[in-house]
Each structure stands twice: as structure tokens, then as C-alpha cells.
Structure 1
Amino acid sequence: MMMQGQEKINNRQLAVLVTLYTIGDSILVLPSIPAMIAKEDAWISGLAGLLIGLLFAMMFAWLGKQNPGLNVYQYSSKLLGKWGGMCIALLLTYYFFIMVSAQIREMGDFMTVQIMPETPIHSIILLFLGVVILGARLGIETIARLGELLFPYFLLMYCVLALCLMPAIDWENLYPVLHTKWKTIVYGSITTTTFPFVELVSFLVILPSVNNVKRIQKSMLVGTLIGGITLEIMIVLTIAVLGAPVTANQIYPAYSLAKKISIGNFLERIEAMLAIMWIVTTYFKTVLNYYALMYGIANLTKLSDPKVASLPIGMILVVSSLVSFPDITYFSDLVTNYWPYLDFTICLALPLLLIGFHYKVKKS
């Protein structure tokens, strides 16, 4: 398999990619899930999710530092042997495949429901997936440079959006504080931990390309913290403006939030800005997952160049996104009730297994 040492990114670029990945598709859909569970205390669940998410970022960074120059597929074989490594690679590759299928379906659903209702969903999926494949084929250096280029514009639009929402905020919507049980708040934090942070496992494929191994942990933590704070502010704004009951019943609560902006009958309905922000961050999350998937397929099939598999994978993904997720209702139910358990099973159990075998090999 082609070595990743040929491509290098710096630690600032890593932090930007982690930030954009963490925000990802969560900026649009995340607020409704903890609001459904913890009601007005959803922001506390979000804060707890951020703290737990930092621990996941530290775990992934630690694995990357202990195995410099090797991605997760390579050091899995090193630690667990040929067949053990193949099992890990198979599970992770399947996970990334399902992730990309879900994300391109999510893009298709959002565009056809909210922005281009008369456009066939197949067209949206094909266009979006084409750009994702192009980015993955160009490599991690190109993706990182694009992230650096777009990140300041994303921050600017985010700040403008937050400032425009200030007049619509009703802080009473956040009260009473802690009126739900701690058990409910903790349960709500599972989803806020899962979607942005647990899925950072894909960076175990990207970390070998970082040129300064010693600062990997710092970059991962900074990126996770910025992304987590961005999402936490969005949860607070959504509940403070819309209220917890309305937020919980919305599929895209942040998009509905942006529709509330009205300043002097001049600046109104700037939800297109939020849509652009979501498309950008969702693209980075999808392309990085596709990149990890590409290397997983190459590892399993012993391809010398992972790019060879990019187009065949894409054709299968188009079918998978339409068959695996028949409609938006099915997708929302799956994400809310079942997806967190898949994330924790793959993204917590497998890294912990690798850490355990690392210490076992080290002692022997």
C-alpha cells in the first residue's frame, strides 16, 4: 500500500481539519437530539459531551504518537498479527463506508427538502460525491490547504450569524436549569459526545501525514475544543431563540433558527449563510471519512495506490446511500436511537483494544 509519508501537513492544518470535522454535519442537526432528551438542560449535555470528547481526542492522538508514520490499519497488523489486523481493518472500513453513505444521503435530503425541492436526490448525491472523490484523490495536503483557505470565512459567517441572532434571544427559554434528572442529562450527553467527537477515529488514518509528531496531541485538543465550543454555542442559541420543545421537534433546528433573523426589516432570512457553512463543514467531514475508507479498501485488497479504488467505491456508495437510508424519517430515527451505539462500539472498543495490545507488546 502507498505510504502516507509522501504527503505532509503541519500541525496548524491538523487543528483546522479537526475543527471542521468536529463541526461537520452536527452544526445543523445536533441541537434537536439533546433537546429531545434533556429539554432545557440540553446545553449542559452538550458541555458534558465536549469534556468527554476531549478525552477521545487525547486517546486518538496518543495512538498516533505511539505509532509514527503508520496508520491504524498498519499498526493493527503489527500489534494483533495478520488476521487480527485484518479484522480491525474490516470493521473500520465498514464503519467508514456506512459513515460516508449516511453523509451523502444527508446532503441529498437537506438540499432536496430545504433548498432545491424539485431536484432529484440522485443528482445532488452524484454531484456532492463527485467533489468528495476529487478531494480524496488529490490527497490530504490539498484537503488541508483548502481547509486553511475556507476556515476564516467560516468563522466570519458564524460570528455574523451569532450576532444577528442576539436580538431574538429569550434567556427564559433556558430556565429552569437542572430541572431534569442527572441521569437524563448524562443520557443526552451520549449523543453530543458521539456525533462530533467519537467519530474523530478517522484521524487515525490521517495522523501519519503530520510532520511534527510531538505536537499532535495539542493540535487535536485545540481543534476539538474550538469545534466543540462552536457546537455548544449553537445548542445554546437554538434553545434560547426557538425554545426546547420547538428545537426537539425540528429535523434541522439550526436552519429554522437562521430563519428567525430579522434586523430593521433590512437583514432577514439569511439561512442561506448557514446552509453554506453546513455544506463546507459536512464536505470536510465526508472527504476525510472517504480518505480513511480509501486507505482501508487498499489495505484489505493490497492495492499499491489507494486512489485506484476511489471510483468503484463511489459507485457502490451511491447505491448504498439510497438503499440503506430509504427516507429522511428513517434516517432521523436511525441517527437518534441507534447510531450512537454503533459509534461507541467501533470508535471506543477498537482503540482501547489497540491500546491494550500496545502495552502487552511493550511489556513482552
Structure 2
Amino acid sequence: MMVSQQDKITVSQTVIVITNFLLGTGILTLPRTSVEAVKTPDVWLSVVFGGLIALLAGFIMVKLSMEYPEKTLYQYSRDIIGKWPGGLFSLLLICYFLATSSFQVRSVTEVMGFYLLEDTPLWAMAMVFLWSGIYLITGGINPVARLYEIIFPITVLIFLVVIFMSASIFETDNLRPVLGKGIVPVMQGVKTTSFAYTGIEVLLIIVPFMRKPEQALKATLIGISFPIVFYMITVIMVIGALSIDGVTSRTWPTIDLMRSFEIRGLIFERFESLLLVIWIMQIFSNFTISYFAAAIGLSQLLKRRMEPILFGLLPVIYLIAMTPKNIDQLFQMGDLIGNSAIFLVGLIPLMFLVISKVRRRKFEKN
């Protein structure tokens, strides 16, 4: 399937797609999950190391995609490892993207139900999310990228304003001592913080949609750098304000940080609603691009038009999203998706790149 010129995206749009896909549930949960793993105030170092691993993975994915610049991973996986193994891998990747999109839908309904729309049925909130997403995606990746261009600056502005307003309750002592227990706890937390950067696998799908695919590496470096900075600021401010013990006792510590202070005299005295607004927009971004990736994968695997597949996948996403019975099962689902990402989008692209390079050298010799 060749990508039409009308459905191509610019380098800056690629940057924003990568950034928006990486910024998701992690803004709310990363402080808690990373502190549980590290158990020291040095979590921000784990976030940096996790980001460096994401940069390395992004580099590998771009190099692999540049070997087949006009094809997505679904198409060239069959060229690399054969029709049937490649088809099976594509199916696993489609399931991964479906699970990711379902996880985002359920996450947003849980948070909205708890903080914003109490007593509203989960299915009602999920339906609004799902139908809004399908309305956007039916136009292709171009309208998706253009919407993200609107969402991103709003996210940056509101996030920075709200997070730095919490400086009044920030305690530097909560971040000390630096490396008090050495580097080992920091390294133990790298696996957890790396999960926050799952989403970089979108590179394997969107490079063929770039107008200038030769600049994919530049877009990747910039696109991953933004989330590293966002996550670092979030972790430092949340731990500095709530302390290590305060973070581990809360399900959504970033929202609790916003609820722990108020500034009288302003139009808004409580700021968690503003944070939730931008977070919902980011989750919508995450959901739509993973939904798009699953649909285009099935479309290319079955060699069928994408629109009917989009509508066919809608009830599947809903059913997967409603499967977890409570918040603990939802987090277990998130862990499962993160663990599968290590193999599906971490190790396998590296293996594909090695096989592709070896084959190319053999072909050149012959």
C-alpha cells in the first residue's frame, strides 16, 4: 500500500506525534511506580536513564525503517523473515496496539469517573472517547497530526504553569541525599521508567508517512527529548512536594499534588481540573495513534480498505477496555503491555535490523 502525497506529514508533525504518543498515563502514575521500584529520592536519575534507553531504541527503529522507507513494519517484516513468520509477528503487533488503545480508554474512564464525572457509567464515557477517535482517524494520519499540533502547545503551557505553581509546597530536603544508597537502586528503577517511554514503536509505522523520511532520526531525537524533560519535571516536583512515603501511598500522585495547594483570588483556586484537561487530551492522542496503528496493520495484513476495519475494531477495543474488574487489574494490564513492548518493539526490531544488514551485505557480494 503506497502512501498518498496528501497523507504525508512534516518533520515537525512527526516530532509532535512521537511526543504525544509518549506522554500518556505516565504523567499521573510514573512518580508512584518509579518510587516503588527505586525507594530513594533519586528517581529522576532513573527517568533520565530510561529516556536514554528510549533514544537508543528509537535510533534502532529509525535505522530499520530507513532500510524500507516506503513500507511500514507490517509490510517489511515479511520481506525480512518470510511471509508466515512475518504475518504472525504483524498479528502480535496489532494485538499489542489494540491492547494499548484499550488500556488508554479504560484509564481515562477510571480517572474521569473518580475525579470529574462521579456515578457516570464507564461505558458512557468510553463510548464518547471511542466515537470521537474513529471520527478523527477515518481522515487518515494528516488530521490526526494537525489535531496534535493544537493539543501540544496547550499541554506544554498548562502543564508548566500548573506544575510550577506547586513550588509553594516544594521541599528540597525531600530530594536528598543524592545517591545516598548508591547507583544500584537507580538502575533497579530503569526498567520501570523505561515503560513510561513505550509508544516510541510508533516510529515503525509513521516513517513511510513522512514527507522527508531522511530526517526521521532528527524527529525522533527531538520527539523523545520532550517527554524526558516532562517526566523529569513531574517526578522532581511530585517527590519534592509529597515526599517518597507520600507518593507511594497515592494511586494518582500527580493529581494529588495539584489538590494539595490552592491560590486564593485567582479565577481557578484549585488546579487539578486543568491538569486533567491536558491529560485527557494526551490520552486521546495516545489512544488515536495506537488505534490507527492497529487498523493500518490489519488493513495491510488482509489487504483490505482501512475504514471497515476501523469500525470492526471498535467493539474489540471496548471489550478489552472493560475486561479489568478494578484499578489493580488495570495496572496489571499496563504492566503486561509494558513487558510485551520490551520484546515486540525493543528486541525484535534490533533482530530485524541485524538480519536485514546481513542479507544486504550478502546480496552486494553476490
Q: Which amino acid counterpart does residue 165 of structure 1 have in structure 2?
A: S
Looking at structure 1, the residues matched to 3 and 78 of structure 2 have their Cα atoms a distance apart, in angstroms, of: 15
In structure 2, runs of 5+ residues without a counterpart are: none
In the alignment, what sits opposite 1:24?
24
Q: Which amino acid counterpart does residue 315 of structure 1 have in structure 2?
A: P
Looking at structure 2, the residues matched to 73 and 5 of structure 1 have their Cα atoms a distance apart, in angstroms, of: 20
In the alignment, what sits opposite 2:94?
93
Q: 1:79 to 1:4 in 2, by over 3 A?
A: farther
CA contact (8 A) 1:16 1:151 kept: yes
In the alignment, what sits opposite 1:191?
192
Looking at structure 2, the residues matched to 253 and 265 of structure 1 have their Cα atoms a distance apart, in angstroms, of: 25
Task: Determine which of 346, 349, 359 is the counterpart of 1:348.
Answer: 346
Looking at structure 2, the residues matched to 140 and 340 of structure 1 have their Cα atoms a distance apart, in angstroms, of: 25
Looking at structure 1, the residues matched to 331 and 265 of structure 2 have their Cα atoms a distance apart, in angstroms, of: 35
Kindly state the Cα deviation for residue 269 of structure 1 after the two structures are TM-superposed. Answer: 1.4
| Structure 1 runs, 4 residues or longer, greater than 4 Å off | 264-267
CA contact (8 A) 2:18 2:202 kept: no
- Please report the TM-score for the alignment, with normalisation by the length of structure 2: 0.94
Q: Which amino acid counterpart does residue 14 of structure 2 have in structure 1?
A: L
Q: 1:2 to 1:128 in 2, by over 3 A?
A: farther
CA contact (8 A) 1:4 1:208 kept: no
Q: Deviations for 1:291-315, whole angstroms, at most 9, x for unmatched residues?
A: 1000111123221x11220111001
In the alignment, what sits opposite 1:274?
275
Looking at structure 2, the residues matched to 57 and 2 of structure 1 have their Cα atoms a distance apart, in angstroms, of: 24
Q: Which amino acid counterpart does residue 317 of structure 1 have in structure 2?
A: I
Looking at structure 1, the residues matched to 143 and 321 of structure 2 have their Cα atoms a distance apart, in angstroms, of: 26
Looking at structure 1, the residues matched to 248 and 81 of structure 2 have their Cα atoms a distance apart, in angstroms, of: 44
Looking at structure 2, the residues matched to 329 and 265 of structure 1 have their Cα atoms a distance apart, in angstroms, of: 39
Q: 1:339 to 1:75 in 2, by over 3 A?
A: closer
Residue pairs, 1:317-356, within 5 angstroms: 317-323=317-323, 325-336=324-335, 338-356=336-354
Q: Which amino acid counterpart does residue 7 of structure 1 have in structure 2?
A: D
Aligned residues: 360
CA contact (8 A) 1:259 1:268 kept: no
CA contact (8 A) 1:171 1:240 kept: yes
Looking at structure 2, the residues matched to 283 and 23 of structure 1 have their Cα atoms a distance apart, in angstroms, of: 11
CA contact (8 A) 2:154 2:278 kept: no
Looking at structure 1, the residues matched to 85 and 42 of structure 2 have their Cα atoms a distance apart, in angstroms, of: 43
Q: Deviations for 1:166-219, whole angstroms, at most 9, x for unmatched residues?
A: 1111111111221335332212111211222x3311221111110011211001
Looking at structure 2, the residues matched to 95 and 215 of structure 1 have their Cα atoms a distance apart, in angstroms, of: 27
Q: Which amino acid counterpart does residue 329 of structure 1 have in structure 2?
A: D
Looking at structure 2, the residues matched to 46 and 29 of structure 1 have their Cα atoms a distance apart, in angstroms, of: 13
CA contact (8 A) 1:251 1:332 kept: no
Residue pairs, 1:229-308, within 5 angstroms: 229-264=229-264, 266=266, 268-303=269-304, 305-308=305-308
RMSD: 1.7
Q: Which amino acid counterpart does residue 335 of structure 1 have in structure 2?
A: G
CA contact (8 A) 2:66 2:213 kept: yes
Looking at structure 2, the residues matched to 138 and 89 of structure 1 have their Cα atoms a distance apart, in angstroms, of: 23
Q: 1:296 to 1:359 in 2, by over 3 A?
A: same
Looking at structure 2, the residues matched to 334 and 123 of structure 1 have their Cα atoms a distance apart, in angstroms, of: 21
Kindly state the Cα deviation for residue 6 of structure 1 after the two structures are TM-superposed. Answer: 4.9
In structure 1, runs of 5+ residues without a counterpart are: none
Q: Deviations for 1:250-298, whole angstroms, at most 9, x for unmatched residues?
A: 2211111111232346453110110011111111111110110001111
Q: Which amino acid counterpart does residue 143 of structure 1 have in structure 2?
A: V
Kindly state the Cα deviation for residue 5 of structure 1 after the two structures are TM-superposed. Answer: 5.3
Looking at structure 1, the residues matched to 240 and 337 of structure 2 have their Cα atoms a distance apart, in angstroms, of: 27
CA contact (8 A) 2:133 2:284 kept: yes
CA contact (8 A) 1:5 1:208 kept: no
- Please report the TM-score for the alignment, with normalisation by the length of structure 1: 0.94
Residue pairs, 1:1-364, within 5 angstroms: 1=1, 3=3, 6-39=6-39, 40-196=41-197, 198-264=198-264, 266=266, 268-303=269-304, 305-323=305-323, 325-336=324-335, 338-364=336-362
Report the 3-state secondary structure (helix = DSSP H, G, I; strand = E; otherwise coil) of the residue aligned with 1:31.
helix
